[in-house]
Structure formats: C-alpha cells, structure tokens
Chains A and B, each alone.
Chain A
Amino acid sequence: QGKFTLLCNTKTNGSFLVHHFLSFYLKAGCKVCFVALLQSFSHYNIIAQKLGVSLTAAKERGQLVFLEGLKSCFGVLFGEEQPGGQTSPFQWISKDGSNLKTMYEFVRTSLMPSASDSWKCPVLLVDELSVLLSLGVRPVDVLDFVHYCRVAVCSQLKGNVVVLVHSSDDSEDEENELVVKSLCHQSNLILWAEGLATGFCKDVHGQLKIIQKGSPKLRAERNLLRIYQYKIQDKNVTFFARGMSAAVL
C-alpha cells in the first residue's frame, strides 16, 4: 500500500515486468490506470491474454483506464476535437515548455474512487517515462508529474505507482540519467533488469536486480539487494540464481 516501484531496464527490454504488474494488479482486483506511451492497446491485450487477463473486459467493467499515448498524441497534434470539449491529457505536446498538469489531472480523476466502485487500492502504471523526455518534456516537468502522482496515488489514495524507465550505464543522455537517479532516491522498490555483461544468450535473457529500501521508520537499514537471472518464456518468466540456469547445470 502506498508504495512507489521503479522498473528500470538497461541494455535489455524490461517490458515483461510491465506486463506482469498489469496482469497481477488486474487479477488482484485493483483499479488500474495505465499510461501506455510505448505500444498500442492491442499489443498489451495480446500479451495479457497469454497471462490470463482480458484488457478489453477489464476496460468495459471500469477496472482499467487505458490511456493510449500513440493514438491520443496523434489526435492532439492533428487538431481533432475532443469529446465533450475536455482537454486531452496530451495537450502539452503541442506547446513548448509546458508542464504535464493535464496528464496528472487525467490520472487523478480516473483513479478517484467513485460511489459505485468496489475495487481495491488504485494503481498507476506508466510505460515508459523516458519517452516523455524524447517528446521534448523537460526533466523537471517529468519529475513534477511523478511527484504529483505520488501525492495523489500513494499518499492520498494509498495506492501504488509503478513506473518504467530506461537507463544505460555510460549514457550521454544527462537528462534521462537525472530522472532515473531522482526516481531511485524516491522509490521504495527498484527492479533493475539488465542484459548480461557477457552479451546475448539464448537461455538466460538477463539479470534482475531487486533493491528493497528499508522502512521509513529506520531507513538506515541496509537496502536489501537480491540478484536473479531470468529467462522469458511464452507464458511466464523463470527466475534462478546466478549461474544456475537449467541449460548450464
């Protein structure tokens, strides 16, 4: 409850974590607001069906609020009228140097509990934040958006926020690294998916570092660090200790 989880991927594709969290929270009965900036709705739907969840059904019963970035950006940039005269969450894309307040308000209104809702804690899922930087948003505005989402979802509604960012060790993209490091400071749990240092392998797709920060009462406890390697299969992901892949043993 009230936790901020950061998913980070370096040299590999960490989107399997996003699919996992999406289906996990939907199966748990939570109300989910998914800000999908990277792929289309059908992409997520197909993978969610393999994991046992139907996104269309979840949308129809109001459990899932899906913000499809690819379609909505298109609409704003090419001047289509919004239904009912509302401002689109992507209004900022046509203006230079504006903040993400409209997107934050969309998130807040969609996760605000209404009288007819019987869902458990609200969850915000963002895939992925680095795309916003590529679209020209300043890093401070991205951090402000995440800050306000934490205020609304984590501390006021006692929900969870899960955000995916992309990072690389020797990145020259200072803005991206600034966002990633700031979010590392703020998060309670960091799941860092990295490619193997030795290169691509058929049987081991990568390494997952799990960093759990201590509780706020005594934050000086050591951060709990666990490292697993994983292999992505069609319907699930197998985790094993480093060097213990079935292909090697």
Chain B
Amino acid sequence: MLGELVAGAAGGLVLIQDTVDCEGRSLLKTFVAASVRRGESVHVFGFEIPEEEFRAGFDPDVAAQLLYQDGFTDPLCWNGKTGGFRVEEFSVLGVVTRLQRGPVGSATIILDSLSWLLLRRPVPALCQTLAQIPRAAANAGLRVTRIVVLLHGDLHPLGLVDTLHSLARAVVWVGPAPEGMRSKEDAHQLASMLQRKGSGKVVKKEEYFSILTGFTLKAFGEPTRNTPPDEDADSHSAVDTAAYLTFNLQLSDTERQARDRVPLPFHFSAQKKSSLLEASAGTGKIYYEPDATDDLDEEDPDDDLDV
C-alpha cells in the first residue's frame, strides 16, 4: 500500500508524521522523486533545512525539475533580504502566486515542514489555507493534485495532531522497525498508514520499508502477527518435556481405559445410592435406656423430621 501512495494513489492532503526517533524526510523525498518521475510539477516550500540539503541525494534530472521556494534563509525578514519566501506569505494568495510561476498542468505541493509553520502561524488560519489551496489554484487555472506535508508528531499537543489527521486524506506514521527486522531483511522503518478513499472507506495497514539511493522505495510487506505461533510452541514443548524424564509418567492404552472407568469420589450414581441405602438398613441398631431424670418425649417439637 505504501508503494501505491507514493505512486500517487491518494490525492488531497497527505500527512507524513515522524518523531525524534525516526525521521520522515526521506519518505517525503521519495514522494517528491516519484512525483517528478510521473511528470508533475513539484513545488517545494522548505523551511527547516537549506535548499542544498533538500536537493542532496536526488538524481540530477529530478533535482533540476524541483521548483523550490526558500523559506529557510530569511523567513522572518531579520536580514532584510528579498527573494526568499517569508512566513507571512504562506496564505492562499501567496502560495497560488508562487504556483503560477511554474508550468501549468498538474502540480504537487510539498511542505517541509508543517510543524515549522504551526509554531509560527495561527492554527485555524493554517488549516483553512491548506484546505483552500486546491480550489484557489483551480480558479487560477492550475490543478493541484496533492499536498504532501511533513509533520513532527512529538512537537504538538495530541488534539492538534488529531485535527490535522481529520483534514488529511492519507496519514503515514513513520517509526523505526524492530531490531529483528532490521538485521534480517534490511527493512529500516515501519510505516503505519491510514487512507480515506473517495467512497468513504477507510483502509489501515502496516508495512516495513526502506529507502534506496535516489529516493526510491522498497516495500517489504506487512509485519506478521506473532501470537498464534507462540501458543503452538507451548503445547509442543509440554509434550516434549514428558518424554525426557527418568521415571514413567505416560499411560499405556489399557491403563488409560481403566483410569477412565474409575468413578469420581463424589459422583452420585445409581450404584452408590443403592449401596448407601442397603447399608442403612440391617446393621447398627441403637439401644437406649432412659435415665430417671430424662424427659423423653417421642413427639417432634419442631415438626421438621421427615420420618
């Protein structure tokens, strides 16, 4: 499923969420490379890393086609330089103006990163901007097919992150793969994906992946569920340990049949009932001589003896 997402299966807002333990920028660059190879124009709004660092690692023909808006060098205008992308320019109008400088046709917008903007712009305005960009671009004659953003999940409160998830068509959580997978099959990272399709169906999946040189994706398939094999292993080991004892704990067939035939101690069968009743009649009569002081009354004072 990750391969399909990278190949453009999801339109609208695609969110890549990473944490300090595992960065998601390389997956973002994989989306970029795939988009360029499909012939779309890719507009990158970069705030967190310098342009050279973002372009590093791409194939030269891919890097040459990126339309980079530099929000790293002077976003707050402290140096007074013009030409870069300032943080105030990130509005519907500002973004569409920059998009119009590129070729017409389908466009993909890449945002590196949304966390940077969320810390410096009011959140509702930012969410509205993201939602309105495709429509405003269509009015200006451009077609924005998808907006892929990088979000650092551990920098924001959970409520904000959940709100952004509800805005997105697809969310990819990136995390490190467990130790066993990393050494065995060279799968470095685990992606948990959620995609909302046009029909309203929600698809959730997990996949291991790693990213090769030139930012191409290599998917490894889903993690296997581990619990049923553990139960089988336990029962097998129980039978195996009985075979290695110095004394005999096993039963032969005749012994097993004899054991099954023995009645349980408190099992009330017809045989037991009759043996009890026979025992009560005949044996053990009680002879009692009342004393002079005894007041022997044959009647039942409580009227509860069922004789």
Interface residues of A (CB under 8 A from B): 99, 101, 104-105, 139-140, 143-144, 147-148, 151, 154-155, 178, 181-182, 184-186, 213, 216-223
User: Main SS of the interface on chain B?
Assistant: loop
B220 near A: Cβ within 8 Å?
A: no
A202→B48 CA distance, assembly (Å): 42
Whether B152 lies near A148 (C-beta < 8 A) is no
B158 near A: Cβ within 8 Å?
A: no
Whether A101 lies near B26 (C-beta < 8 A) is no
What chain A residues lie within 8 Å of B119 (beta carbons)? 139-140, 143, 182
**Can you list 25 contacts pairing A with B, beta carbon distance less than 8 Å?**
A99-B76, A105-B78, A139-B119, A140-B120, A143-B119, A144-B120, A155-B52, A155-B72, A178-B155, A181-B152, A181-B154, A181-B155, A182-B115, A185-B20, A185-B48, A186-B48, A213-B23, A216-B53, A217-B213, A218-B57, A218-B213, A219-B57, A220-B189, A220-B210, A222-B176
B178 near A: Cβ within 8 Å?
A: no
A184→B155 CA distance, assembly (Å): 11
Contact count A vs B, C-beta below 8 Å: 67
Whether B188 lies near A220 (C-beta < 8 A) is yes
Q: Which of A139, A143, A184, A218 is in CB contact (< 8 Å) with B26?
A: A218
Contact with A along B35-58 (1 / 0, CB 8 A): 000000000000011101100110
Interface bin, chain B: 20 to 34
Distance in angstroms from A34 CB to nearest chain B CB is 22
Whether A185 lies near B74 (C-beta < 8 A) is no
Whether A182 lies near B57 (C-beta < 8 A) is no
A148→B71 CA distance, assembly (Å): 12
Known: A151-B74, A216-B49, A222-B188. 11 other contacts (CB 8 A): A181-B20, A181-B152, A181-B154, A181-B155, A182-B152, A185-B48, A213-B23, A217-B213, A218-B57, A218-B211, A220-B189
Given A184-B20, A185-B23: A217 and B155 within 8 A (CB)? no
B73 near A: Cβ within 8 Å?
A: yes
Given A186-B48, A219-B25, A220-B210: A151 and B73 within 8 A (CB)? yes
